[in-house]
Structure 1
Amino acid sequence: MKIRFSLGLLLLGLGLWGLVAAVAGPAFLLPGFLGMIAPVVLGMITVELITRQYDRDPRKVTKLMIGSFGVKMVVYALYVVLVFQIPGLSAYPFIFSFTGFFILLHILEALYFRAKFQTNS
């Protein structure tokens, strides 16, 4: 059975969140989850959209990547503002989780697309 890359991102995100929460303790559960879920979900959507576009018309991929990056930045900004409205939420675990997943998932997306674009060239 072939696992889609986007599903792998979700499984990786949940696994890392669970592992860190087990080590860091219950105070990390909610802020860690909230820091993980937005980058993972937006990463999954991005991978699916760009992969489908590449399979249909590779010439339009760059435009879609630029547009999706802009949309993600707006969504991330709104998401962070909303999360900080949650009463009693620990800011530092959220910030560390969000930043870590944001960086990790963008690196993984870049590696995935590089491999996909090279093998299909």
Structure 2
Amino acid sequence: MNSYTELDVWKYSRELVKLIYVLTKSFPNEELYGLTNQIRRSVVSVPSNIAEGIGRQSNKETIHFLYIAKGSLQEVETQLYLSFDLEYISEAELKNILGTVISSKKLLNGFINYYKKL
């Protein structure tokens, strides 16, 4: 592996960032510094922590940052449910974006398992 930018797990998490940013553009203005900001920060944390983990010196450190990325995905998932509960997104939007979140979690879990075996 030459760079984290070549990793599918990192590329896929970048796509999730784009989807969340587009989705949250329609959130109410009063949420700009609330839920909108929080969900965006959480989703940006995913590819950022993957990249940081790859830059670490040991597999143990790398795995630690991959688990932080996984935790951020859990936050995003929760915040999406809250967005639905508050009627900021429709059920169809929720199902669609959750599919991407679940795929990201699967890729990340696979990547964590790969690193654990090294």
Normalised TM-score (structure 1): 0.48
> Which has the larger Rg?
1
Task: Considering Cα pairs closer than 8 Å and 6+ residues apart, tell me whether 1 or 2 has the greater RCO.
Answer: 1
Normalised TM-score (structure 2): 0.49
More helix by share: 1
